[in-house]
Structure 1
Amino acid sequence: MSIKWLLFSFDGRIGRQTFWQWNICYYFLMLFVAGTITRMVPQWSAFVLPVFLLIILVPDLAVTAKRWHDRDKSCAWLLLNVPLVLGRISFPMSQKMMDPVSLEPSLFSSVLSLVGIVCGAWIFIECGFLKGSEDENLFGSAPVSKSSSSTV
């Protein structure tokens, strides 16, 4: 498996282990960049972070698409990512634009957060914990896990 295929192709299947490895790297990278930007240039963080999140959006969707394929589901299930993406991109900007007196989020922001939590939980459970198709499916042959490929 090449990194180019993993991060930029929407074809094929991956197992849960690869999905988890990607997500751990993805969230550590997000936290690192957010922390660095916030410390170094806090006045730019509301604009730099959404741009960074858009840059790593394609690799995240490509990995998730392959996991949906392993579950024998099409890329249409990536639509569950829409509220998550909107929330991640709008959060830094909404923090800068929030009224410092009331500190209350807007109704749109609250609804988006709730929908994002539901969609995120669905993706988390389905892609992170549920087993993929054991045999070949419409999206290719089953990914080879390291434990099943070794011979004793």
Structure 2
Amino acid sequence: MSIKELLFSFQGRIGRKTFWMWNVTYYILIVGFMAGINALFPAVAHLLLPLFLIVVLIPDLAITAKRWHDRDKSNWWLLMNVPLIAGRLSAPASDPSQLTQATTLQLIVSIAALICGAWIFIECGLLKGSQGDNRYGPEVK
């Protein structure tokens, strides 16, 4: 599978190793971007981080879709990412005082994100894919 297919196609299957390699890279990119933006443009860091998260959203969803496929589950399971995405985009980026001013909606989104994130972690990160070929492609070796 080419890098283009891996990052931008919602078809096929990948194993846990590829899923974890992407996630480590993904979070290193986010932390590196945050550190760089906070150092270079601290006044607008809270605006630039959500834009960056939108840029890396498609590759993240494409890789997660392939992992769901390896578990023989459809792309509809990507809907579990909605609370995670909402939480990431609404999190305060640079002002720690905003943490104490969370609204009820933010708390609900945070709890939903925690539950959905735990489910995705277990299903995609820990459990083996389905054995043999499935409707999404051949078994990942």
| TM-score normalized by the length of structure 2 | 0.94
Structure 1: gaps (5+ residues): 145-152
Out of 132, 137, 149, the residue aligned to residue 129 of structure 2 is: 132
In the TM superposition, residue 48 of structure 1 has moved relative to its aligned partner by: 0.3
Mapped pair 1:12 → 2:9? no
RMSD value, Cα:
1.7
> What is the correspondence of 1:9-88 to structure 2 with a 5 Å cutoff?
9-88=9-88
Q: Which residue of 2 aligns with 1:110?
A: 107
Deviation digits for residues 68-125 of structure 1 (CA, Å, limit 9, x no counterpart): 00000000000000000011111136958939xxx32111111111100000000001
Q: Is the 8 A contact 1:49 1:92 kept in 2?
A: no
Q: Which deviates further from its counterpart, 105-114 or 60-69?
A: 105-114
Q: Say which SS state the counterpart of residue 92 (structure 2) adopts.
A: helix
| TM-score normalized by the length of structure 1 | 0.88
Q: Say which SS state the counterpart of residue 98 (structure 1) adopts.
A: helix
In the TM superposition, residue 129 of structure 1 has moved relative to its aligned partner by: 0.3
**Paired letter, 2:54:** L
Q: Percent identity?
A: 52
**How far apart, CA to CA, are the structure 1 residues paired with 2:94 and 2:82?**
17
Q: Say which SS state the counterpart of residue 43 (structure 1) adopts.
A: coil
Structure 2: gaps (5+ residues): none
Distance 1:42 1:94, change over 3 A: closer
Deviation digits for residues 46-75 of structure 1 (CA, Å, limit 9, x no counterpart): 110000000000000000000000000000
- Which protein has the larger Cα radius of gyration, Structure 1 or Structure 2? 1
**Paired letter, 1:125:** I
Q: Say which SS state the counterpart of residue 137 (structure 1) adopts.
A: coil
**Number of corresponding residues:** 141
Distance 1:29 1:93, change over 3 A: closer
